[in-house]
Structure 1
Amino acid sequence: ARARTLAREQSALQRVATSVAAETNPAILFARVGQQVSLLLGAECSYVLRFVDEKQFRVIGSWGRPGARMMSVGELGTQTPDGLGFELRRGRSAKRRTVPTASHPLHYIHRIGAPIVVDGRPWGMVVAMRDSAAFLPDDEKRIARFAQLASVAVVNADTRQRLASQALTDPLTGLANRRAFDHRLIDETERALRHHRALSVMLVDVDHFKSINDRFGHAIGDRVLVTLARELVAVMRQGDMLARVGGDEMAMILGDCPPEQAVEVAQRMVEEVASASMLSQRHGVTLSIGVAGLNGGGTAEELLRRADQALYRAKNSGRNRVVAHDERTAAAAEAS
């Protein structure tokens, strides 16, 4: 019997370990943890819970047998001062608990849990429950092994999220990069066309940036870009995307925004840079900005091309200004 129990435990752990290695959706992974814990320990239901603060937890994964009394994924629960959660938060080992009545949010009389520890700190807990009989001492070791796998899953998920963020973020300024910008522009263009909404794009170029690098050095040039990104973020609308799409070129996507309004935003950016002492007075930074709107049709590529044409006109007409795309002017320029 002991050999069969050990084989079942190893099989359950293997299934979870495989999910930890391969599953990229945390919700599915933590539900698998709850399932395997319940099946192995004979529990009515099991949860993966994350500590929110000293008193609350959030359900991030769950599994229950048919008819089980369950909390929903995403639901918040409150730990009682003498509850299992408080004990697990302060310890490193699994614990069992039997309560006289099912007054706790998790409802069941017999409970067992193990802490999920990440980077040496309590992150959450794996908990199993039932009414039929108390859990056995050996069950503490079993659920602790699942909690260790859950810890690995949390680290893996954080690593994936960090790598995904890095792949879409400019490392110097912290803005979105060209890849993120291109994906967002395609999505926003499709959404605007589908729902007949306005959409504008602006391209922002630092005037004579090469001379700044030549005069002050590349370290100062990098500092100028970082400061510029911070100044532009301060005046952009909430929900819009600002990206660094080239060396000294930035771009912004303004959803639900006609080009006339986008020009106003761009003008505020030019004025903000003019008033920023480090940028304008110390390093002579000015901006040229080209603005274009979707105008009811076209593709993301065409919208970006129109903004680029407007930027070209801004630079050729003296720099330090905002120019909106105009079809007639652009057509005349192409003809000449």
Structure 2
Amino acid sequence: MRWTGGHSNPLDWWLNLGVSPQDPPDLRLKKVVMTLVSTGIATLAIFWGILYIATGYPLSGAIPLGYSVVSFASILHFFRSKQFDLFCFSQQLLILILPFALMWSLGGFANGSVVMIWAFFAPLAALFFLDLEAARRWFIAFIALLIVSAILDSWLQGLARPMPTTLNTLYFLMNMGMGFILISLVLYYFVKDRNKAYRELEQTQEHIHHMMMTDPLTGMPNRRHLEQRFNEELDRKQRYGEPLSVLMTDVDFFKTINDRYGHAVGDEVLKAFAKTLQGGLRSSDFLARYGGEEFIVLLPASDLDAARNLAERLRKTVKSTPIEGYDIQLTSSFGVAEVQTGESPEQAISRADKAMYNAKHEGRDQVSSKDDSAHI
């Protein structure tokens, strides 16, 4: 259950009253489950109190009724104070003491041993909310109360009115049934919230991974993503022997555009440039922003001639695409290189980079596959 400020049903609303927006998922889950257990047992205690009184055991009925009042007061105090540690301790103490006090009032183990199922919630809660050492301490307290009960058992039997076998059996079945129902509810909410927390974590991790691999301005893959994809394509090239080419391109006179119109317009130009390039590629091609106004395109299953042809089509498309709202005529220069066997991504990109600057040296707005840049 996620704290959202609004809930689809009254139970979710009640269980989330102690949850704060800043709570991490694990703490939120603990608060919800502890509220569920406490509310469930306090509600059942009202039922048991009325039932004991109706069957002729007024003292035994007063104990769960009193427990219910104190337990609900503890829950409401938690909702106001948000003191979760105090809430956990008070509820564990109440849950541990209630079954023993009820058993003693019924005359010891003969009439009241069935209520012991509720006492197990104390060490179980400590195991879930705290740690193994805390659960061990609460279990020792449970054993100590059992020993005290065994010592007092003969004396307690002499004080209480014997319970009819049929009624004792009925109480046994009802205690076990209600106990297992409450445990099932706890497990349901635990699994439900855990699954939701895992899904949220997966979504967060996917979002972080997407942010790490995406250029925030253009929405295109960034340099980190390019490096990963380039290595994947090299593996595929080696495995199947297919050609692989790489294009490098940028906007001609981009600095002039920035100086004349401002960086905000420059950003819009880069976004439009990236969108235009992406629109002219195949689904198997990969476009990434390399840095500044430079973009890289990976072309699987494309040799040098195919790469040059594609680059030429992209160049013409860029030149014919206006920048909406501005009198700007974009042109672009392309460098093309076919990746050679044994060549690293850095070496292939370097050759494409030299070819692109050769295109600029020759007058811009053209495609080049020459990587001899000695004269540049």
User: Structure 1 stretch 232-241 or stretch 4-13: which is displaced more?
Assistant: 4-13
- The structure-2 alpha-carbon separation of the partners of 1:10 and 1:244, relative to structure 1 and needing over 3 Å to count, comes to farther
Matched, 1:272 2:311: no
Residue of structure 1 equivalent to 2:367: 322
CA contact (8 A) 1:243 1:252 kept: yes
- The structure-2 alpha-carbon separation of the partners of 1:299 and 1:313, relative to structure 1 and needing over 3 Å to count, comes to same
Structure 2: gaps spanning 5 or more residues: 1-116, 132-176
Distance in 1 separating the partners of 2:300 and 2:125: 53
Matched, 1:164 2:209: yes
Residue of structure 1 equivalent to 2:263: 218
Distance in 1 separating the partners of 2:301 and 2:123: 59
- In angstroms, what is the RMSD of aligned CA positions? 2.8
| Among 222, 228, 231, the residue aligned to 1:183 | 228
CA contact (8 A) 1:224 1:279 kept: no
Q: Deviation of residue 318 (structure 1)?
A: 0.4
Q: Deviation of residue 208 (structure 1)?
A: 0.5
- The structure-2 alpha-carbon separation of the partners of 1:246 and 1:14, relative to structure 1 and needing over 3 Å to count, comes to farther
CA contact (8 A) 2:287 2:296 kept: yes
User: Structure 1 stretch 220-229 or stretch 1-10: which is displaced more?
Assistant: 1-10
Residue of structure 1 equivalent to 2:59: none
Residues 212-265 of structure 1: CA deviation (Å, up to 9, x unaligned): 011111111100111111111111111221111111111111112112111111
Matched, 1:194 2:239: yes
Task: Letter of the 1:263 partner, please give it.
Answer: R
Distance in 2 separating the partners of 1:215 and 1:323: 28
Distance in 2 separating the partners of 1:256 and 1:309: 22
Name the SS for the 1:239 alignment partner: coil
Matched, 1:240 2:285: yes
TM-score, normalised with respect to structure 1:
0.58
Residue of structure 2 equivalent to 1:307: 352
Distance in 1 separating the partners of 2:327 and 2:375: 41
- The structure-2 alpha-carbon separation of the partners of 1:214 and 1:298, relative to structure 1 and needing over 3 Å to count, comes to same
Distance in 1 separating the partners of 2:229 and 2:328: 32
Task: Letter of the 1:267 partner, please give it.
Answer: E
Task: Letter of the 2:222 partner, please give it.
Answer: N
Residue of structure 2 equivalent to 1:65: none
| Among 137, 146, 152, the residue aligned to 2:181 | 137
Residue of structure 1 equivalent to 2:254: 209
Task: Letter of the 2:367 partner, please give it.
Answer: V
Structure showing the higher helix proportion among its residues: 2
Residue of structure 1 equivalent to 2:272: 227
Residue of structure 2 equivalent to 1:48: none
Distance in 2 separating the partners of 1:335 and 1:250: 24
Name the SS for the 2:291 alignment partner: coil
Distance in 2 separating the partners of 1:238 and 1:277: 24
Name the SS for the 1:251 alignment partner: strand
Name the SS for the 1:284 alignment partner: coil
User: Structure 1 stretch 259-268 or stretch 285-294: which is displaced more?
Assistant: 259-268
- The structure-2 alpha-carbon separation of the partners of 1:13 and 1:143, relative to structure 1 and needing over 3 Å to count, comes to farther
Whichever of the two has the greater Rg, that structure is 2
Distance in 2 separating the partners of 1:279 and 1:212: 14
Q: Deviation of residue 334 (structure 1)?
A: 4.0
Name the SS for the 1:320 alignment partner: coil
Name the SS for the 2:323 alignment partner: helix
Q: Deviation of residue 6 (structure 1)?
A: 6.2
Q: Deviation of residue 279 (structure 1)?
A: 7.2
- The structure-2 alpha-carbon separation of the partners of 1:302 and 1:212, relative to structure 1 and needing over 3 Å to count, comes to same
Residue of structure 2 equivalent to 1:153: 198
Query: Which structure 1 residue ranges, 4+ long, deviate > 6 Å from structure 2?
Result: 12-15
Structure showing the higher strand proportion among its residues: 1
Name the SS for the 2:283 alignment partner: coil
Give the total of aligned pairs: 214
Residue of structure 2 equivalent to 1:126: none
CA contact (8 A) 1:204 1:249 kept: yes
CA contact (8 A) 1:228 1:279 kept: no
| Among 327, 330, 334, the residue aligned to 1:282 | 327
Residues 19-58 of structure 1 mapped to structure 2, 5 A cutoff: none
Task: Letter of the 1:153 partner, please give it.
Answer: Y
Task: Letter of the 1:201 partner, please give it.
Answer: V
Distance in 1 separating the partners of 2:265 and 2:375: 41
- The structure-2 alpha-carbon separation of the partners of 1:258 and 1:141, relative to structure 1 and needing over 3 Å to count, comes to same
Distance in 1 separating the partners of 2:293 and 2:310: 19
Distance in 2 separating the partners of 1:205 and 1:335: 20
Distance in 2 separating the partners of 1:196 and 1:13: 58
Distance in 1 separating the partners of 2:189 and 2:348: 56
Distance in 1 separating the partners of 2:228 and 2:351: 18
CA contact (8 A) 1:199 1:256 kept: yes
CA contact (8 A) 2:223 2:288 kept: yes
Distance in 2 separating the partners of 1:205 and 1:161: 30
Distance in 2 separating the partners of 1:286 and 1:231: 12
Task: Letter of the 2:221 partner, please give it.
Answer: A
